[in-house]
Amino acid sequence: MKIAEMLKKDYVIESLTTSTKKDALRELARVILHDHPQYETETVVKVLLDREKLGSTGIGDGIAIPHGKLAMLDRLVVSFGRSVEGIDFNAMDGRPVHLFFLLLAPENSAGLHLKALAKISRMLKDDGFRRQLIDASTKEEIYRIIEEKDNFC
């Protein structure tokens, strides 16, 4: 499974413009929804917030992996966003989140969905990888860093 195949360069946000959890989810969803106009942004945000009610997807170390399932989505899609300032995401460690991978999956994709979440988590365990993502200067560089890590993880 390759995360880079689910994450287009256009789905990378080098600098999130928001400071709230809900707006971060909205911004991360919008880049994906340009290619999926059948979904309303607010409907997708509601799905993501409903998932957040089960427990924060802010896993600590400045990372969040919000995710949700959508009816009639034909494949897994991923967006990435970075917030240099950090966003309060109710993370498990109580610290702000700087790196976001948003995953949207088809409703019937439990196995694939979980494999993608696990792979993203493995990639993000690497402190050096996280630091590279924070220090990257362009969205193209961020995408390249993710693609390279994806090949070795």
- Cα-based distances in Å from 127 to 96, 120, 131, 145, 146: 16, 13, 6, 13, 13
Distance of alpha carbon 140 from alpha carbon 80, whole angstroms: 12
Q: Which of 34, 67, 98, 113 is catalytic?
A: 67
Residues 6+ apart with CB under 8 A from 50: 68
67 among known catalytic residues: yes
Instruction: Please state, as a whole number, how many other Cβ atoms lie within 10 Å of the Cβ of residue 103.
Output: 24
With beta carbons less than 8 A apart as the criterion, state whether 106 and 75 touch: yes
Distance of alpha carbon 69 from alpha carbon 102, whole angstroms: 11
Instruction: Please state, as a whole number, how many other Cβ atoms lie within 10 Å of the Cβ of residue 50.
Output: 10
**In the block, which residue shows the tokens 């050096």?**
128
* Catalytic residue annotation: 67
